[in-house]
Every structure is written in structure tokens, then in C-alpha cells.
Structure 1
Amino acid sequence: MKILFFLFPLFLLAQQKITPRYIDSQIKKIETLGREGKSDQYIKGNTLLLKHSKLIKYSRGIALGYLNLSYSLFFAGNYKKSMEYLKLARKEEFAQNDFTSQLRIKRLFSYNYISVGLYQQAISELREIALLSDDAPIDSVRLQAKTSSYIDIGLIHQEKKQFDSATIYIKKGINALQNCRKLTPRLKVILAWGKLTLIELKIDEKKIDSAKIYLKQLENCAEKLPGNYNFKLFLAKGKVCEETGNYQQAVRNYAKSVKLVQETKNIVALRDLYQSLSKAYSKNGNPDSATIYLKKFDAITDTLTSLSPPAIESTVQELVTQKENEINSKTRYFMYFLYATAVIVIMFFLVLFGKIRRERKIVMEKEFETMILSQKVNAAFNEVVQLAKKNDPEFLTRFQEVYPNIFPRLLEIEPLLLASELKFCALLFLNFSSKDIAEYTFVKPESVQTRKNRLRKKLNISSDEDLYIWMKNINNSRIHSLS
């Protein structure tokens, strides 16, 4: 017993002293666990990191602990708790002054927007990250932020079945990484992830031959996903096998993917895998197994559904807060003054004139709405024109967002219109002259006139009718009134 009393003080003295340097060393170990997809160890490590950092009030450890746990909670489907931790991370002094942490926070906000279907807001956040990344002091940080944003935007377009835009963004991220001479381990992971995302996109497009080629190229190259994140590789293999009718091999690959994804605690990926396994078992003539995995799919779906309302409330509240914070304080006080004055004037006229005040209020509201709408339309129009002048790949996508009725109406008249012809129609709608079109699309003016004549013939537009006016009218009238 005496020896135990002797050793106990020595044990206390030998315990690791909690210092910023010690915590920084633990952060590096935790980052490795995260890259390898060892979720349980990653969560335990960050929980301990947060506890130790709070003891010594070390802002870096507190911010990264909250931020890392927020990511883990998000992929586990606990979106509300994830948002709470994210807000706590953002309040830390370290996060407010660390460029990389600010980018990570914005990225996780974009993920939360995606989880509740706010795709356009998510794209705006990701585009802002891509722009902000140019100011990153470290090349690897800049490349990581920019390429990850491109791939994530591609995934959103894939979710919305906008396959052309998805391909453009995903390839944009992949090409930027491939053009880099030396990649860090983290950048190699992003490159492999981007390539697998492209493979899944081609499968969704039913371009199985392309998917198989990309998959073979990936298996032969140096970029690999670490540890449990290989679930995405087996998922892609399973999808290719399923699409080519090899259901038994599809089941094997999906099963391997499930085993790995369970370690990452990515509940959405696990749910989708259960659904894929159920379909593969059913096609392979095994209804019992198909039923088992369908029930597992339903169970996770019910869980996510129950978590959805508080997640939506939390995310929307954050979005409202962000918009309010964007308003300049001086402008805000001025607007408050204007609103107060308007209320007093309205009350005065309410007492004196009653009916006249109500009619004037209606007119003013309509004028205000018209002005705001006009400003938005003008801004969107100028943005689309600039994209067209630059011959930017995003031109067609943005044009369809601003003028969603034009292409469907053109395709009602002539379903066989090519993408190049739709783009040409878009330029005419934007009032580009033949000279402008020739300049910005790098063709001769004579070629533009030839294309106009062909278009008239395809769309059955008479030679007396002004082509530009016809294009404007198609956005305002029903198709039968034009054909």
C-alpha cells in the first residue's frame, strides 16, 4: 500500500499539462482522424479539445472544437445542434480573425442552406467563398477553398438535374487541381472526391460508358480517398454494376460502402445506400433482403423528417440575421427615420381624409413594388449581358434563371433546337446586333446573318416580322399566339 501512496503523487505530476502548444498538437491529430473518416474518434477528440481549451480559455481550440463538432453533427443529421455549435464557433475571437476558419464557417452555412432546400442561397455562399479565397495568404488554402466550392456548386446543380451546369463546375474544380504541380494530402483527397462526384454525375445522366472510363482512370491514378471515405468509391462501383445489370456485384460494392460510411456517421449517405441496396437486392431476385434495407431506409428518412422543422427554423433565422447585418448602420437609422415619418404622415391623412389616404397608399405601394421589380430586372439583365459578352460558360444557366419561360416556349415551337441555337436566340433576346454577336462569339458577321435566316425557317418566322421583336414577344405571350 505504501508504494501506491508513493506512486499516486508521481502519477499526478506526470499528467500532461494543458497548454496552447499541447492543444495545437492535438488539433493536428484530430485533423488526421477527420481526413480518414474515423468519426467516433474524431468526435471524442474534439469534445476533449473543447473541454481542455475552455479550461485555459484558448480561443483557437474553442473555435475549432465547436466548428469540427458542428461538421460532425451536420453529417449525422442533427442540423439544429450543428447550427448552434456553428454560431458559437463564429463568436470566438480566433474565428473572427482567422481567414481559413471564416471560409469553413461560410461553407457549413451553405451546407445548412442545402439541407432545407435553399439552393440559390447556398450557391451564393459558395460563390462568395470562391471569390474570398483569392485573398488567402497560403496557396493550398486558396486552392482548397476555391475547388471545393466549385465541386459543391456542381453537386447542387446535379441535385436540381441541371447536368450541363453541374459538369461545368465539377470539371472546373478538377482541372484547377490537376493543373497544380504539387498537391497537399488534403488537396489530393478533394481531387479524388471531385472525380468520384463526376462519375456519379455521368451515371445520373445515364452516360455509363463515360462513367466507366472515369472510374478506370481514377483507379489507375495516384489520388485516393483515405480510410473510411472510400465508401464513395464503392458506391460509384456499385452504381456502375447496377446500371450494367451486374446486380450481385452491385450488392457487394454497396455492402462495402455501407460498412465504411457507418464509420463516418454520414446519415444521409447511409440512408441513400440503404435505398440503393434495397433496389439492387430486388433486381437480383432477393425480396427479403430488399425489404430489410427498405425498412432501414424508411427509418432514417423518418428520423431526418422529424429533425427537419427545427433545422428549417434555425437556418431561416440565421439567414434573416445575416441579411439584417448586411445593412449599413447609418443607412438603417435613416430608413427607420423615413419609416417613422411615413407612419406619422399616413396617420395624419387617415384622420383628415380617410378614403383619399387609403387610395394614395395603394398607389404608392404599387409604385414602390414596380420600382423594386424594375431594379431587380435591370440588375439581372446587366449581369446576363456581361456574361454573354465574356462568352462565359455560366451565361446559359444564368439566362434561364432570369428568363425561365423563353427556352421552353421556343422548344414548344421547335423541339429539335440545338443548344447553340438556343444560345443564339438568347443573344437576340438581349438585343445583340449581328456585329455584336459576331464579335463575342468569334464568327464572321455573314455567318450571323446566315444563322438568322436558318432560325427564321426553323421557327416559322416570316421575313416581314422583326426577329428581335419576335424574341421579345415570346417572353410575354403564349406560344399559340406566336405560331
Structure 2
Amino acid sequence: MIKKIFFLFFLISSFFYAQQTEQEMKNILFDIDFSGAGPKEIEKIDSLIAVCKKDSYNDCVALGYLKIANIYDKMNDTKKSFYYINKVENENLMNSDTDFEVIFYVHLQKSFLYRKLGERVASFKELDEIYDKAMKTGNAYFIYLINRQYADKYIETDSKLSLKYSKIAYKFSKIYRENKGNHYRIDKNRLSNSYKTSAYLGGIYTDLNKLDSARIYIEEAIHNEKKVDDISLKYITSLYAGRYFRVIKNVEQAQYYLWIAKNIAKNYFKSENYQIAVGDELNALYESIGQKDSIGYYSNWLVGIEKVNREQNQTLNDAVDKQNELENSNRKKETKKLFFILSLSIAACLLFIFLFLYYYRKHKSKNLDKIDIPHQPSVDESAFKELIQLAKENNPEFLTRFNEYYPHFSEELLKVFPLKISEIRFCAYIYLNFSTKEIAEYTFTSVRTVQTKKYNLRKKLNIPGDMDIYVWFSKLLK
């Protein structure tokens, strides 16, 4: 019965969303409320993903998976959150034509989850990979969001840097909301996120004991919270307002705001990060006024949350380890299979070459009376082989020799766009028809990094979206 209802819902959804452009479908995804989202919203997103798949809207499918991952993270189901993030890569939804928005959210969501698992190095690496790219987009929403995460990155190690990035986030969140020239689509989820920067900045000033500055931003946050009916914004505002009032010893106000945050975390945000944050604040508040019963209660509450978190993380890590073992096993099997196929291919090639030479010599011996030109090895062919070898070794001399072999390549390329030396070198690899995987292997980088570089080159060189980048380069010198 449930399956029939879901199928009927899917048919109705498919009819309703038919003929929608990909951007319109993405807008529908972004309009689904996040704060109160649960299984019903996930079911709706799944139906949207099915329609996007039908129309080959890969960016829309990827963003749908990432939104589901975000909801599962809020529901404290880290395993399913990782599962949906991995689907973006497993279904090959990212390539050189993928919109930066998808790449941005993949890194951001992975950073959240790695940090939650205590893998700070992996978390920060995800942020580092997209920080410069996000800043170069000029998109106020991306810029404020990545700087907000960078502020968190340094909050425990360098308060000045954390404050610096929080100020940048605050500045660009206001630019996003002002939306001069209507550059941005303002939806409820993004709008509520942008208002959080006031509370975050107030929290940092509170931690730095700059209470006059903290008061300004906390008051602004409380005022802004009333502009959007959003549970997530209310939680963040209440948490940092409670912290500020606790520090200035206004127990009544601190307790008021922290209880609001606690109730929201308990009813809407099952993720332990939300609950631990408010639990720590309540513990500190009751310690400051000596309420032992309350201290004991919240201490036990925190211990319980951390225990559940450890058990969940252990389960997730075990699952990740098993998945890695399975992938390694499959990789070894594939390697053996490829080795066998390669051996057969080489044997077949050698046999073909042998037969070719045999019949060629036989034929040649019959025609010696007509013409007999001795075969001489081509100098260009030898130089080309040497050039390929330098590329495979990632040799510093590669670009110099490449320019000697193709003297007009760099000149023609620079007419299109003033590229850097490193970018010209990367273009040379593409011109030589190396695949993404080969370039990654020879230059000691990841496949994703190569894909991102190709994406950036497309933008700089203005390569049409419907043209293969290799075809474009092959026509450069013609």
C-alpha cells in the first residue's frame, strides 16, 4: 500500500515538475525548509531527484543528494549523510562542466562531517581546496559562507584570525541581503543563514571579552531573528545571546535564551553538536551560581550525548573501514583482470606486428626492382617520444621542450587569455591528449583537482559548454 502511494506521489510530482528548467528545479530544492526537515522532506527531495535524473539535470541531482545529506546530519545520522555525499561521486555527477555551486557544497558538507568525527585535518583540507575559488567567484553568498567556516577553523587556535574571517563573513552576508542589482536569488534558507553572522560575531567578541562590541552584535542578532521565522536562526541567536548574558552575569536573561536553544536542539536538531553546545553553556551558567542539582543534571546529559556520539562514530568508522577493505579488494581484482587483459592484448599486438613484418618483407622482396628507399628513423618522432616521457615524469624541462616542438602553441593560447606558466603547462598535457586520470597520476594530484582545473580553464578560455575541451585544443594550431 505504501509503495503504491509513493508511486502515485511520484507520478503526480513528475507531471507537476515536467518541462521545468534545471535552474527552476534547483530553486524548488532550495525552497524546501531545512530547519524542520525530516523524512517527509527527504521523500519530496527524492521525487525531485528522480525527475532531474529523467531530464539529465546532473547538477540538480547532486544538489538534491547534498540537501538530503545535510538533513541526515541534522538528524544525527552521520552514516547516511556520508552515503548521500558519496553518491555524488559514485554516480559520476561531477565533471569539468559541473557548476561551482555543486563543487562548493560537496567540500563544505564533507568538512562539516569530518569535523564532527574529530578529523580536523581532513575537515580543514576540504575548506582549503575551495577557499580561493570561492573568493574569486565574487558571489557574496559563497564568500560569506566559506569565511564563516574559516572563522570556526581558527576559533580554538587563533582568535584574531577567527575574528578576521567572521568580519569578512558579516560584511558579505549584508551584501547578499542587500542584493543590489538583483544578482542573487533570496530564499528563506539562505536568508536565515546570512542573518546568523551577527550572532557568530557577537559570540567571538564575547569570547575575546570585548563585551561592548559583543552587545552591539548580540542586540542586532536578536533584532534580526524576528525578521525570519526560522528555527535554525532562532537556535544560533539564542545560544550566543545566552552565552553573552552568562558572561555579563545576567542570569535571568542567560537562562531564558539558553532554555530556548535547549528546547530547539532537543526537538529539531538531534545532532550532538547542537546539544553539546547548549549543554556546555547551561553547565557553565549553573556552575557560576552554584546550583549543584542543575550542574549534575546537565553533566549527565552531556555524558549521555557524548556516549551516543562515540558509539555512532565507531559504527561509522567501522563501516568506512569495511568499505575501504572492499574497495581495495575490488581494486586488486580489477588490477589482476586488467593485467591479464593487457597481457593478452600485448601478445595479440606482438603477433600482429610479427605477421605484418613478415608479409611486408615478403612483399618488399618481390618489388626490389621497382624502388628501394632505405627506411630512416624520424627525428620528429624521436623528439615527440622524448617529450611524452618528460610529461609522464613531470620533468621541469617538459614545457621548454614542448614549446620547441610546438613553437606557436603558447603564443596562440596567450592571445585568448593571459594564462600563468603553470596553466600553460596544464594545457600542454591536454593538447597531448592525456586523460584526466593520466594527468592526475603524472602531476601527483587528485582526479578532482584536475577536473576543477579543466573547469577553470573552460571559463578563462571561454570554451563552449557543448564542445569537448580536447577538441578545442586540437583546433588551436589549425
TM-score of the aligned structures, taking structure 1 as reference length? 0.54
1:166 offset after TM fit, Å?
Answer: 0.4
Determine the structure 2 residue equivalent to 1:297.
Answer: 302
Alignment of 1:449-460 (within 5 A): none
CA–CA distance in structure 1, aligned partners of residues 168 and 87 of structure 2: 33
CA–CA distance in structure 2, aligned partners of residues 303 and 60 of structure 1: 35
Q: Relative to structure 1, is the Cα distance of residues 31 and 201 closer, same or farther in structure 2, using a 3 angstrom cutoff? A: same
For residue 250 of structure 2, the aligned residue among 243, 246, 250 is: 246
Q: Work out whether residues 241 and 254 of structure 2, in 8 Å CA contact, stay in contact via their aligned partners in 1.
A: yes
Q: Work out whether residues 203 and 214 of structure 2, in 8 Å CA contact, stay in contact via their aligned partners in 1.
A: yes
Q: Work out whether residues 155 and 166 of structure 1, in 8 Å CA contact, stay in contact via their aligned partners in 2.
A: yes
1:311 offset after TM fit, Å?
Answer: 4.4
Determine the structure 2 residue equivalent to 1:156.
Answer: 153
1:75 offset after TM fit, Å?
Answer: 3.3
CA RMSD, 1 decimal: 4.0
1:176 offset after TM fit, Å?
Answer: 2.9
Q: Relative to structure 1, is the Cα distance of residues 301 and 91 closer, same or farther in structure 2, using a 3 angstrom cutoff? A: same
CA–CA distance in structure 2, aligned partners of residues 205 and 14 of structure 1: 52
Counterpart residue identity of residue 213, structure 1: I
Determine the structure 2 residue equivalent to 1:207.
Answer: 210
Counterpart residue identity of residue 143, structure 1: A
Count of matched residue positions in the alignment of Structure 1 and Structure 2: 312
**CA offsets, 1:12-61, max 9 Å, x none?**
79961525538877764553343544445533433454566678886455
**Pairing 1:237–2:233 present:** no
CA–CA distance in structure 2, aligned partners of residues 277 and 47 of structure 1: 38
Q: Work out whether residues 192 and 230 of structure 2, in 8 Å CA contact, stay in contact via their aligned partners in 1.
A: no
**CA offsets, 1:293-319, max 9 Å, x none?**
33222211111111223545778999x
CA–CA distance in structure 1, aligned partners of residues 293 and 251 of structure 2: 15
Identity value in percent: 16
Determine the structure 1 residue equivalent to 2:424.
Answer: none
Determine the structure 2 residue equivalent to 1:46.
Answer: 45
Determine the structure 2 residue equivalent to 1:218.
Answer: 221
Q: Identify the range of structure 1 (63-72 vs 147-156) with the bigger mean alpha-carbon deviation.
A: 63-72
Determine the structure 2 residue equivalent to 1:91.
Answer: 90
CA–CA distance in structure 1, aligned partners of residues 171 and 100 of structure 2: 25
Determine the structure 2 residue equivalent to 1:100.
Answer: 101
Counterpart residue identity of residue 30, structure 2: E
1:123 offset after TM fit, Å?
Answer: 3.2
Determine the structure 1 residue equivalent to 2:354.
Answer: none
Q: Work out whether residues 140 and 175 of structure 2, in 8 Å CA contact, stay in contact via their aligned partners in 1.
A: no
1:172 offset after TM fit, Å?
Answer: 1.5
Q: Relative to structure 1, is the Cα distance of residues 299 and 45 closer, same or farther in structure 2, using a 3 angstrom cutoff? A: farther
CA–CA distance in structure 2, aligned partners of residues 107 and 214 of structure 1: 26
Counterpart residue identity of residue 233, structure 1: T
Q: Relative to structure 1, is the Cα distance of residues 333 and 207 closer, same or farther in structure 2, using a 3 angstrom cutoff? A: same
1:241 offset after TM fit, Å?
Answer: 1.7
Determine the structure 2 residue equivalent to 1:447.
Answer: none
Q: Identify the range of structure 1 (300-309 vs 121-130) with the bigger mean alpha-carbon deviation.
A: 121-130
Q: Structure 1: which 5+ runs fail to align?
A: 1-11, 322-328, 336-483
**CA offsets, 1:381-423, max 9 Å, x none?**
xxxxxxxxxxxxxxxxxxxxxxxxxxxxxxxxxxxxxxxxxxx
CA–CA distance in structure 2, aligned partners of residues 47 and 267 of structure 1: 26
Q: Work out whether residues 111 and 122 of structure 2, in 8 Å CA contact, stay in contact via their aligned partners in 1.
A: yes
Alignment of 1:62-141 (within 5 A): 62-92=61-91, 94-96=93-95, 97-133=98-134, 136=137
Q: Relative to structure 1, is the Cα distance of residues 267 and 222 closer, same or farther in structure 2, using a 3 angstrom cutoff? A: closer
Alignment of 1:258-273 (within 5 A): 258-261=262-265, 262-273=267-278
CA–CA distance in structure 2, aligned partners of residues 283 and 247 of structure 1: 9
Q: Relative to structure 1, is the Cα distance of residues 16 and 291 closer, same or farther in structure 2, using a 3 angstrom cutoff? A: same
Alignment of 1:392-407 (within 5 A): none
CA–CA distance in structure 2, aligned partners of residues 13 and 157 of structure 1: 46
Counterpart residue identity of residue 144, structure 2: T
Counterpart residue identity of residue 309, structure 1: Q
| Partner secondary structure for residue 245 of structure 1 | coil
| Partner secondary structure for residue 16 of structure 1 | helix
Determine the structure 2 residue equivalent to 1:169.
Answer: 165
Q: Relative to structure 1, is the Cα distance of residues 74 and 13 closer, same or farther in structure 2, using a 3 angstrom cutoff? A: closer
1:258 offset after TM fit, Å?
Answer: 2.0
**CA offsets, 1:68-108, max 9 Å, x none?**
12112233333333222111023345544232111110111
Q: Structure 2: which 5+ runs fail to align?
A: 1-7, 328-387, 395-478
Alignment of 1:416-455 (within 5 A): none
**Pairing 1:146–2:146 present:** no
1:112 offset after TM fit, Å?
Answer: 2.7
CA–CA distance in structure 1, aligned partners of residues 30 and 167 of structure 2: 27
CA–CA distance in structure 2, aligned partners of residues 154 and 83 of structure 1: 24
Q: Work out whether residues 29 and 45 of structure 2, in 8 Å CA contact, stay in contact via their aligned partners in 1.
A: yes
Q: Relative to structure 1, is the Cα distance of residues 259 and 151 closer, same or farther in structure 2, using a 3 angstrom cutoff? A: same
CA–CA distance in structure 2, aligned partners of residues 78 and 17 of structure 1: 27
Q: Relative to structure 1, is the Cα distance of residues 22 and 244 closer, same or farther in structure 2, using a 3 angstrom cutoff? A: farther
| Partner secondary structure for residue 18 of structure 1 | helix
Q: Relative to structure 1, is the Cα distance of residues 227 and 73 closer, same or farther in structure 2, using a 3 angstrom cutoff? A: same
Determine the structure 1 residue equivalent to 2:470.
Answer: none
Counterpart residue identity of residue 64, structure 2: G
CA–CA distance in structure 2, aligned partners of residues 76 and 63 of structure 1: 20
Q: Relative to structure 1, is the Cα distance of residues 308 and 33 closer, same or farther in structure 2, using a 3 angstrom cutoff? A: same
Q: Identify the range of structure 1 (195-204 vs 275-284) with the bigger mean alpha-carbon deviation.
A: 275-284
